Each structure stands twice: as structure tokens, then as C-alpha cells.
Amino acid sequence: MRALTRYLPILTWGRTYDRNALSNDLIAAVIVTIMLIPQSLAYALLAGLPPEAGIYASIVPIMLYSIFGTSRALAVGPVAVVSLMTAAAIGEVAQQGTAGYAAAALTLAGLSGAMLLTLGFLRLGFLANFLSHPVIAGFITASGILIATSQLKHIFGIDASGHTLPHLLESLFHHLSQINWITLAIGAAATGFLFWVRKGLKPLLLNAGLGPRLADILTKAGPVAAVVVTTLLAGVFRLDTAGVQIVGAVPQALPPFTLPDTSMELIRALFMPALLISIIGFVESISVAQTLAAKKRQRIDPDQELIGLGAANIGAAFTGGYPVTGGFARSVVNFDAGAETPAAGAFTAIGLAIAAVALTPLIYFLPKATLAATIIVAVLSLVDLGILKRAWTYSRADFAAVLATILLTLAFGVETGVSAGVVLSIALHLYKTSKPHVAEVGLVEGTEHFRNIRRHKVLTHPRVITLRVDESLYFANARFLEDYLYDRVAEDCGLSDVILQCTAINEVDMSALESLEAINTRLKGLGIRLHLSEVKGPVMDRLRRSHFLDELGGKVFLTQYEAWTHLTRPPRPKAA
């Protein structure tokens, strides 16, 4: 039973579900549904899929997440970055607009779902931690720029393609002569209006006496107004005959049952993209879920979240959708509108299903430029170039990771960018720990404390030196320590004792153990004793299992002060 409630969180919240929660969830669902209709259409456009795919991807996946997910407020569906990654991945294997393209989207969602489920069952949620914050920030910023640029073609009413900034810009520039001015007028007006809604409408509504929550929700509904107005304009004046691209006929139906293409060739080609989409989607989703849960002192289980998102993506694969994840904007709206349980998500799904059946004829004349405008305005809020300055101030390594991620994402696309960011973060971390800070320390007079002799006035001894290595000892820095010690010993002929103060050594792996053995042997040969002080419990346990302590030329001291007083007793210490 405990295992069952772990894998089915619905059993926990479902048991206490009451009338009050129901009414709150219903209100939230109505608000989110209205907001999701244009957003789902727009992201499907971004992914290069027919508009209904966006709505389908919001129905069954939301329901499945509400059964398996642990977040009470997360709204699952198509999101901007994942839509962009989907377009980039499928663009490699199929031509946009073909049946193969939509089928590949299903396969991508299925693969991603299977991966998320696997990671969840194996409890590997911690893997997402290897995406460092600077890499994520850089990636999201670059993706925002790429997405906004990719939508310019709809604003201008021209053809353009590409998944990298140079390609997109070149393609846009190349087709610039084809500009459709009516499309541009609609696109520019919609973009301007949406920016104004985002920045100027809320203060206005607040001044007009509306409550802050209502003002907020009305602001978030801005895209709906843009959709209604531009659709009416296009319909009344038949702007499609003037070359304005419109959404056109969308099937009036519930999500179809679809089977993803399972050819090995396609799976091989989509494997890496699916993995990256899974990880990026998971990181985005878990960040949102944790932020919202924290506000109500609820807890999120990352491994169960993987299962919830995995189920959602499997659902998307079988119902005409494409890869989904927990979206930031929709989840915040859901939360602000008062959603109390995942049932709100299920009600949203029902709302969207009704829309899919009943409302699709109404968006026949919806200009694609309007959808592009909603995407541009949404993603530009993701662009945060300030991260570069903050990273530069704080740490050069983090700055390098952000900059590389941004530049590589823009220049070579999302997959290269995020992969390079992860590899670079890990490489920089390993590089830093491979050349650890080593301080030679002395006794602060009148205390039992030891400090760096270069920074503090401390007592030293001509024949006894103490080195404090500020890093765990492992294969990447094992040889560094050897070199450092040999150099230090070579320059000082009168040494009798070397103490290694192990305060910051949290681990000694087998490579480092061999280095310590080599150091000990070498120092013995020079008539110098090697001592250890303040070795941590787990490290000591492990050293006891080797022969190192038997062969150690010196002793292991519990505290550095004890080591010092013991070794410097006969000749009196002199001030440095």
C-alpha cells in the first residue's frame, strides 16, 4: 500500500478531496483553459506541427500527470523551449508538414516518456543536478533568442527556416523582399499590444480598482484578446486572400489514438535529442514545481515527478501530441487562480477537449502572425543577458560555462549548446579540483588555531612544516599533491617532519592512496617523517583497510595542535 501511494500520489490527495477543493479547482481550470488555447496552438506552430497537436498534447498528458505527479499546481503541456528542441530534432529526420514529421514527434514523445519513466524507477532524478544553474540560465536565454528569431518569419509573412541563429538570420534576410505588409501590420500590432498588456495593463487595472489577483489573471488573458480581435479582422476582411497566413481548418475532434513510429533507425536518430529534451524538460518542470510547492510548504518528490512526466509524455505519444513538460507560465496561472489539487489539471484537460471539439472552427481565420506575437512576447521574458554580468562578477568558471552555452546554442543549435554546457561545467569543476589550494599553516599564538603563513602572523618551525590541502584527494589531483610536496621538500634541506592537515579532505580514493604511499616512501628515503592530523572518520576507516598506516613514517594525530606540540617540543618554536 505504501508503495502504491508512492507511485500513485492521487491516492493521497484524492482521499481528502472535498467540495471546497472542487470549486477552487474548477475556477482555476476555466482560467487556465482560456489561456492555454492560444498558447497550445502557438507552441505547435513553433514545433512545426499542425495547431491541433498543441491542443492534443495538453489533454491526455495533463490527465496522466494529475494521477502520477506530486505537484499540486504544475500544469503540463507544450512549452516553448521543448517545442523548439522538438522542431530541431525532428527537422533532422523528416520534412516539416509531412506525415513522417508528425509521426516522428510521436516517437520523440514516446522515447522521452520511456526515458523519464526509466530514470524515475531507477531513482536517478539527481542526474538533473549536473545541469548547473549558469548552464540552464544560458541555455534558456539563448533558446529565447532563437525562438523569437524563428517567429519573425510569421510576423513578416515570409518563408524562412533554420535551427541556429546564423541560419535563421541568413534565411530571413534572403526572403525579406517577400514581406507581406498586412501580415506585418497585424504581427507588429499584436506584439506591441501584448508587450503593453504585460507592462502597462496591470497598473491600469489596479488603478481602476481591481484586486491584484484579478488584474493578474486578466493580464495573462491578454493573448486571448489579441487572438479574438485579429481573428475577427482576418475573417471579416478575408485577409487570407491578401496573403495573410491563417491557421485554417483544424479537425473538430477529440485527440486521436496514434501509434508512434518504432523503426530502430528513427529511434537511434532521436535517442540523443529525446534524452536532452527529457532532461531539460525535467529540470524546467521540477524548478517550477519546487518553487510553487515551497509557497505552500508542500514537498515535491523528484523521482516521482520523473514518473509523472514520463506518463504524460507516453500519453502524448499515443494521442497525437509531442513532447510535453511542466510549463512555467501555465503553472503560475494555475497556482494564482487557486488550484488546490492535480484535479484542476484534469478539469483543464476536459475544458481543452471541449475546445477541441467545439471551438476549432472559430479559429479558422486566426492569423499565424498573432500566434507568433504571443510566442515572441512570452519567450523574450526568458532572455536574461544579465546572467553574463552576474557570472563574470562571481566566478570566471561559471562565466565561461554561461558564455559557451549561449554562444554554442545560438551558433549550433539547442542540442550542441546544452551538451557543451554540461560537459564544460563538469570539465571546469574537475579542472578546479585537480589543482587544489594548498596552504602552509602555522600556529596563531595563544590559540590552538592554525592559519595560512602567507596571510597571518603565525608561529612556524624550521624543521616541521604543516600543509593543509583544501580539497578531497582523488585521481585528478593525486599527482598534483605529489609534485607539490616534492617541490616543497626539495627547496628545504633541513626538514625532519611534514604534517598533512586533513580538515578539508573528505575522501581519499585509491589513486590518491597510491600517491600518499609514494610520498611517504619518498620522504622516508630523504629521512623525513610524514604525519597526518585531523583525519575525518570515514577517511580514517578507509585508510585502516589499506597498508598505508602500517608503513607511514610518522603518526596520525587527532588534532593539528596535538601534532604540532608533539613534534616541536624539544627545540622551542620561533616566531616567523
The residues of the shown chain that bind its own copies, judged by CB under 8 A, are 126, 129-135, 294, 297, 299, 390-391, 393-395, 397-398, 425-426, 429-430, 432-437, 448-449, 452, 455, 470-472, 474-480, 486, 490, 503-504, 506-507, 509-511, 513-514, 522, 536-538, 542, 545-546, 559
* Residue 307 beta carbon to its own copies: minimum distance, rounded to whole angstroms: 18
* Residue 474 beta carbon to its own copies: minimum distance, rounded to whole angstroms: 6
Residue spans of beta strands (DSSP E) within 424-527: 438-443, 450-452, 459-460, 464-469, 497-501
Q: For residue 40, how far is the Cα from the chain centroid?
A: 21
* Residue 177 beta carbon to its own copies: minimum distance, rounded to whole angstroms: 39
Q: Toward its own copies, which CB reaches closer, 126 or 196?
A: 126
Q: Toward its own copies, which CB reaches closer, 102 or 478?
A: 478
* Residue 513 beta carbon to its own copies: minimum distance, rounded to whole angstroms: 7
User: What is the distance between the alpha carbons of residues 217 and 328, in angstroms, rounded to a whole number?
Assistant: 15
User: What is the distance between the alpha carbons of residues 410 and 401, in angstroms, rounded to a whole number?
Assistant: 14
Q: Toward its own copies, which CB reaches closer, 374 or 560?
A: 560
The residue written with cell numbers 616567523 in the block is 576
Residue spans of beta strands (DSSP E) within 31-173: 76-77
Q: Toward its own copies, which CB reaches closer, 92 or 470?
A: 470
Q: Which residues lie across from 77 on neighbouring strands?
A: 325
User: What is the distance between the alpha carbons of residues 465 and 462, in angstroms, rounded to a whole number?
Assistant: 8
* Residue 371 beta carbon to its own copies: minimum distance, rounded to whole angstroms: 33
* Residue 104 beta carbon to its own copies: minimum distance, rounded to whole angstroms: 28
* Residue 462 beta carbon to its own copies: minimum distance, rounded to whole angstroms: 21
- 10 Å CB burial of residue 381 (0-12, 13-18, 19+) is exposed
User: What is the distance between the alpha carbons of residues 240 and 246, in angstroms, rounded to a whole number?
Assistant: 6
The residue written with cell numbers 616541536 in the block is 568
Q: In this structure, are residues 314 and 117 in contact, taking their beta carbons and an 8 Å threshold? A: yes
Q: Toward its own copies, which CB reaches closer, 170 or 384?
A: 384
Single-letter residue type at 101: Y
* Residue 395 beta carbon to its own copies: minimum distance, rounded to whole angstroms: 6
Q: Which of 510, 469, 465, 509 is nearest to 489 (CA)?
A: 465
Q: Toward its own copies, which CB reaches closer, 359 or 423?
A: 423
Phi, psi of 466 (to 5 degrees): -120, 130
Which spans in 395-434 are helix H? 396-412, 414-434
Q: Toward its own copies, which CB reaches closer, 542 or 555?
A: 542
* Residue 391 beta carbon to its own copies: minimum distance, rounded to whole angstroms: 6
Q: Toward its own copies, which CB reaches closer, 186 or 438?
A: 438
| Plot region of 254 (φ>0 → left; ψ -120 to 50 → alpha; else → beta) | beta
C-alpha angle 465-479-568 in degrees, rounded to nearest 5: 10
Cβ-proximal residues to 79 (8 Å cutoff; 6+ apart), any chain: 43, 281, 284, 324, 325, 326, 327, 328
Q: Toward its own copies, which CB reaches closer, 58 or 278?
A: 278
